[in-house]
Amino acid sequence: MPIFILSAERNEITAKDLVKGYLRITVDFKHFFPATNQLVFVTIGSERREVKFSCRDNRSHLLHIGQDAISYLTLTDGDRICIEVIGEFEYRLSKLVP
């Protein structure tokens, strides 16, 4: 299964993204996600949860993981996330530690 790293070059995870509870999915990674707005599954740690995915034309898609997931992953602006595709519209997220 594919694995990729957010954020893409020139598109870092920002404090604004984190406050809003989402990760921006840039053009580099759009092909791993649905072509429509829908619910997808993410696994963070041992918890599998259903989250909102927003498909946006000509802009970054949004993966709404929520404040609790951001806190669990201890994300701050500039951090990087490993995203593993584990099934159709199902992903495992983990923070990359420098």
Contacts of 70 (CB under 8 A, 6+ apart): 18, 21
- What is the per-residue pLDDT for 10? 74
Tell me the backbone φ, ψ of residue 61, rounded to 5 degrees: -70, 165
Give me the CATH topology for the region 3-95: At1g16640 B3 domain (2.40.330)
Q: What is the pLDDT of residues 11-53, one digit of tens each?
A: 889 999 999 999 999 999 999 999 999 999 999 999 999 999 9
Band (73; pLDDT cuts 50, 70, 90): very high
Instruction: Provide the whole-model pTM.
Output: 0.93
Band (8; pLDDT cuts 50, 70, 90): confident
DSSP letter, residue 31: G
